[in-house]
Each structure stands twice: as C-alpha cells, then as structure tokens.
C-alpha cells in the first residue's frame, strides 16, 4: 500500500489521472485500516485532487471527509488536521471565505486540544499545514497580504526539512498572492516554474489554485520557450520519507549516494550482499526509479538525501 500511494502520487504529478485513480481505487480501505499515516494522507489527497480536476468537487470533499473519519477511528489527529486543511484548499478555489474560516476554526481547535500531549515533533509536522490552510483562507477572502506571512513561514519550514515539492508549490502561491497585491512576482514565479519543469511536476500549480494556474499560463505565453533541457526524473509527492523508508533503506540510500557498489555497501553495513540487493529492490519500487542514478536523483528531490555540497 505504501508503494501504491507513492506511485499514484507520482502518476498524478505526471498528469496521468486515470492511472493514479486505478492504482488507488481498490486500496483505500487497506490504507485506512493499516497503512502508515503519511501513506493514508497521500492516498486520500491524491484521489481528492484527481476528483477536483475532473470537476467532481463533491467527491473530493467526500474523500477528505473519509480521511477525517480515519483520523477519528485511529486516534490520529494529524490526519484530521490534514483533512480539514485540504478541505480549506478545495473551498478556497471558489473563494468561499466563510466556509474556509469555519474549517480553520475546527482545525485550530483540534490542534489546541492535542498539542500539549503530542510533543514538539508532532507540532512541528502540523504547524506548516495549519499555516498553509490559513493562507488559503485569506486568499478565499481576498485578503491577499494576510496570506503572505503564513506562506513564507510554511515555505521556510519546507526548505528546512527539504520538502522539495511543497517548496515549489509555495513559491508559486507566494508569486500568485504578490501579483494579486500588485507587487512584482516575475522572479519568484520564474523560479517556481523552472523548478517544476526540472522535477517533472506538471500538475502542481493548477492543483494549488486555479488563479495560480492562470498566472502560470499567462507567464508561459509571454515568455519565449527556452531550449529543451533533459528533464530530471519526475518526482513523487512528498510522503514523509523518514516514515516511508526503513532505517536500513535510508542507510543503503546514503551509501549509494556516495557511489558505492552493492558489495561496498554490504561491507560498510556489515551485512550480506544479497540483503543489500533486497533493500535496493525495495528502494527502486518505493521511489519508482529504474537506475541507481535515477534513484539518488529522486531521493534528493524528495528530501531523503541532502544536496551535494
């Protein structure tokens, strides 16, 4: 189920919605019962975004409501907060300010109730989600300047923890809001567009907000097409890699990034080469990669590995 959620998100980013839907269609019940929270969120969010793009907003909201129910059943308030935040995102697309405010109020209430017991790591994982939801609520209310600060705070966290896809999305949203404020946003927007192209993220801006999609479309039509570069492998959506990979898989990945062979990795980890081959097979499946070089590149896009420096 973990691999299915990651692969479906990757297919969606590549603008292959039918394949993404088919992959998850019969797996949501398995996800909701036993999958890691990050995979549950990824699966439901992907299906909801496919539904929004197909003009089935009611279906998207049903899916996000089901995600909230999973959070209640499994006593995972982070799933509930993620559900409410994505519902804000959906309603902000149509500028339903009152609905967005009510959803933010419910989300904040859950956070206040849970934060003392959950600890700093939990708060750190949830705060950017809350910030983005409040930014969307401000956008829905057309209070553009009120959206800038929460977007900047969420983007700082995304960069700090190397959530590459989220950083690109937030760059785009910040450019959209700045443009709505009458400020120059070309540099920020160009950076977002270039990064999205390099990482093969075809859906990211239209997903974020239709207004941003229109802004990107205008920018693309007004800018001469640059020479085609060889694109990097398409990125899968972020699925909290620290949970998606086992500690051994992460160690193998880090050694692989140093250009070590399977035999050298086995020696470094003091385990058999056949075990390394097994870990490699799992890494190729989880990150949807075909070569060792591609595997390392995808891992860096997702923030599983630090950029070489």
pLDDT at 231 over 50: no
Q: Are 48 and 91 in contact (CB under 8 A)?
A: no
pLDDT at 146 over 70: yes
pLDDT tens per residue across span 92-103: 999 999 999 999
pLDDT at 238 over 50: no
Which has the closest alpha carbon to 154: 128, 122, 120, 116? 128
- Give the global pTM: 0.72
Q: Are 76 and 117 in contact (CB under 8 A)?
A: no
Nearest-10 Cα torsion for 80, 85, 239, 19: 100
Instruction: Note the Cα 2 to chain centre separation in Å.
Output: 15
Q: In the chain, where does DSSP find H-type helix?
A: 2-13, 17-24, 28-34, 37-53, 57-73, 77-92, 97-118, 120-140, 144-160, 164-180, 186-198, 204-208, 210-222, 241-244, 247-256, 262-269, 273-286, 292-302
Query: Range with the lowest mean pLDDT among 24-28, 197-201, 216-220?
Result: 24-28
pLDDT of residue 224: 57
Q: Work out the average pLDDT over 107-128.
A: 92
pLDDT of residue 244: 58
pLDDT of residue 134: 98
């Amino acid at each position: 189920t973990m691999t299915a959620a990651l692969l479906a998100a990757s297919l969606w980013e590549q603008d292959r919605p039918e394949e993404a839907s088919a992959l998850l269609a019969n797996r949501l019940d398995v996800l909701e019962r036993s999958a890691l929270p990050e995979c549950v969120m990824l699966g439901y969010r992907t299906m909801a975004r496919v539904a929004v793009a197909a003009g089935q907003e009611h279906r998207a909201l049903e899916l996000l409501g089901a995600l909230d129910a999973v959070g209640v059943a499994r006593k995972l308030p982070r799933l509930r907060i993620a559900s409410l935040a994505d519902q804000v995102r959906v309603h902000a697309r149509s500028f339903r300010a009152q609905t967005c405010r009510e959803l933010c109020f419910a989300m904040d209430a859950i956070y206040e109730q849970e934060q003392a017991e959950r600890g700093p790591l939990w708060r750190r994982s949830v705060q950017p989600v809350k910030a983005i939801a409040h930014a969307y609520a401000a956008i829905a209310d057309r209070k553009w300047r009120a959206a800038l600060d929460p977007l900047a705070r969420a983007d700082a966290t995304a960069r700090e923890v190397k959530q590459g896809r989220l950083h690109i999305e937030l760059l785009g949203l910040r450019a959209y809001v700045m443009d709505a404020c009458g400020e120059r946003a070309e540099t920020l927007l160009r950076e977002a567009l270039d990064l999205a192209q390099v990482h093969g993220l075809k859906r990211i801006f239209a997903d974020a907000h239709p207004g941003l999609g229109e802004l990107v479309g205008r920018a693309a039509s007004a800018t001469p097409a640059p020479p085609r570069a060889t694109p990097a492998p398409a990125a899968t959506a972020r699925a909290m890699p620290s949970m998606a990979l086992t500690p051994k898989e992460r160690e193998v990945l880090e050694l692989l990034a140093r250009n070590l062979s399977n035999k050298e990795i086995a020696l470094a980890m003091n385990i058999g080469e056949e075990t390394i081959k097994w870990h490699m097979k799992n890494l190729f499946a989880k990150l949807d990669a075909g070569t060792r070089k591609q595997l390392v590149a995808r891992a860096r896009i997702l923030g599983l590995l630090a950029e070489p420096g």
